[in-house]
């Protein structure tokens, strides 16, 4: 039992250490090592329950350390009492940790499979449970292991082919092979050969250009107003916010100007028309367009409202309405059960309606622009709904909710993955940071320091064509994982019958 408690604590600490593989640290080899340790202990577990608890412990370490920014959102800006905020965060971490626990159960059930088949099957199980975590109850795919490989790891080369979940599959397979390499359950040269083949293959894929530039680069300005979250919705501060963004817009000579999510904290029908007309005229003088974030009242008069981006300038006025809303932040699921939370959290506009799922790119400054708002860029399978028509991706966010935590850095890394998956530039305009221009290879070309008021001015190249991920979405990764897990289950079952 003492040995088991040691393993339990070791994998918990390994889960914490895994967070260093993600932004802002970017130590991409680290998750391979920490997962290899987890797999080693799984192989040493004599009972299924032990494997389940080890998976759960790893998950608690990973999520308790990796999503600490939620406490800032709940307590600092949502005004939730500290004890209640900690309790809510722990409940979420417990839920998220159930998925690696399920993977541990599957790993234990397949222990009779041959070493290589077990490695492939457990990697598939991890990927499938990770995908399930990103799908159930609107999904929470934050800290999917594949994100840790963006942008510098050779394994990032697989992103345009199989997406973030496919990269997770390959990272976890690398960890399982590394486990066997040290355990020497199979010939070291065989495990090493498979491992080298995977990493060399990813490195080689980085030299393939899946998409092609189209037209000349467009000048862009991404604005960061740096409006404090606790002041943003105060009526006596709205005029100052409008003045800040007007000044930033008027300083820009770019064809495409982008403001953050709900940059003007008003409904579209309450903004002074002269204000919008003035900004639209400036955009037309630049031979371009400006995107402004506003809350939008529906025209049906039933108090429905959306989180929207409006365009003004040389192009016809267009609007994008956010579809994938944040639970408990932008809508309350199961109101009869959780409606009381509205009275605890002091979050304005916490009951948005959903925009259409199949909205088309906006024609702006000569580009087809796929807009997504804040949390939406966590869901790559939804981003590709506007592709391959779109030539540019734009994400607008208000990461002020995360404060000075690692949250904004992790969100930037997620946007880097979306750029890699689609072979498109990603332009991020955020309230307090991190505002950045990301190229089609997932590299940050320019960015504004966090918590500064400024405009990021640069060039963005439009791209056309479709990566395999744009064509097939998550289906390739799911198919591979399903086949590998199925083979592992069948072999383990046959071996158990023959034992």
User: Mind telling me the catalytic residues?
Assistant: 261, 322, 374
3-state secondary structure 193-205: HHHHHHHHHHHHH
* DSSP secondary structure letters along 262-284: T-S-SBTTTS-HHHHHHHHHHHH
In sequence order, the 6+-apart residues with CB closer than 8 A to the CB of 212 are 463, 464, 465
Nearest CA to 59 out of 48, 51, 47 is that of 51
Nearest CA to 66 out of 5, 128, 121, 23 is that of 23
Q: Residue 275: count other Cβ atoms within 10 Å of its Cβ.
A: 16
Which class for 288: exposed (0-12), middle (13-18), buried (19 or more C-beta within 10 A)? Answer: buried
* DSSP secondary structure letters along 197-252: HHHHHHHHHTT---SEE-SS-EEEEEEE----HHHHT-GGGHHHHHHHHHHHHHH-
The answer to whether the CB of 331 falls within 8 A of the CB of 351 is yes
For residue 182, CA distances in Å to 31, 56, 189 come to 16, 24, 11
């Amino acid at each position: 039992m003492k040995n088991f408690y040691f393993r339990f604590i070791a994998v918990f600490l390994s889960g914490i250490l895994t967070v260093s593989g993600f932004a802002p640290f970017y130590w991409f080899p680290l998750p391979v090592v920490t997962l290899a340790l987890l797999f080693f202990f799984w192989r040493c577990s004599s009972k299924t329950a032990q494997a389940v608890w080890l998976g759960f412990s790893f998950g608690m370490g990973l999520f308790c350390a990796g999503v600490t920014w939620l406490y800032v959102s709940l307590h600092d800006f949502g005004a939730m009492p500290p004890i209640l905020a900690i309790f809510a965060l722990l409940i979420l971490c417990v839920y998220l940790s159930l998925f690696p626990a399920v993977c541990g159960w599957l790993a234990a059930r397949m222990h009779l499979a041959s070493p290589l088949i077990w490695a492939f099957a457990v990697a598939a199980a991890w990927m499938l449970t990770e995908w399930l975590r990103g799908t159930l109850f609107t999904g929470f795919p934050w800290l999917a292991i594949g994100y840790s490989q963006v942008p510098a790891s050779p394994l990032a080369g697989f992103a345009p082919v199989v997406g973030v979940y496919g990269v997770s599959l390959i990272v976890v397979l690398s960890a399982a092979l590394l486990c066997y390499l040290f355990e020497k359950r199979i010939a070291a040269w065989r495990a090493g050969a498979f491992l080298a083949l995977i990493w060399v293959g990813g490195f080689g894929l980085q030299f393939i250009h899946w998409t092609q530039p189209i037209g000349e680069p467009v000048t862009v300005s991404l604005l960061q107003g740096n409006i404090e979250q606790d002041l943003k919705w105060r009526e006596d501060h709205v005029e100052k916010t409008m003045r800040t963004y007007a000044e930033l817009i008027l300083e820009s000579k770019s064809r495409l100007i982008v403001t953050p999510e709900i940059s003007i904290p008003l409904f579209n029908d309450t903004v002074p028309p002269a204000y919008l007309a003035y900004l639209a005229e400036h955009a037309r003088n630049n031979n371009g367009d400006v995107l402004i974030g506003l809350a939008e009242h529906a025209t049906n008069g039933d108090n429905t409202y959306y989180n929207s981006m409006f365009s003004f300038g040389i192009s016809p006025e267009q609007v994008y309405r956010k579809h994938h809303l944040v639970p408990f932040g932008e809508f309350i699921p199961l109101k009869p059960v959780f409606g009381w939370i509205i009275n605890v959290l002091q979050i304005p506009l916490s009951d948005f309606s959903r925009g259409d799922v199949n909205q088309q790119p906006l024609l702006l400054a000569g580009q087809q622009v796929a807009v997504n708002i804040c949390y939406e860029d966590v869901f790559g399978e939804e981003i590709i709904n506007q592709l391959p028509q779109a030539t540019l991706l734009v994400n607008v966010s208000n990461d002020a909710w995360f404060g000075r935590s690692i949250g904004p850095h992790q969100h930037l890394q997620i946007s880097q993955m979306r750029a890699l998956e689609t072979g498109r530039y990603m332009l991020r305009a955020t309230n307090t940071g991190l505002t950045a221009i990301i190229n089609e290879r997932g590299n940050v070309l320019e960015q504004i320091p966090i918590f500064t008021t400024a405009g990021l001015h640069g060039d963005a190249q439009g791209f056309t064509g479709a990566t395999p991920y744009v064509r097939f979405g998550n289906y390739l990764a799911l198919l591979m994982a399903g086949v590998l897990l199925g083979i592992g289950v069948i072999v383990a079952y046959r071996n158990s019958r023959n034992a």
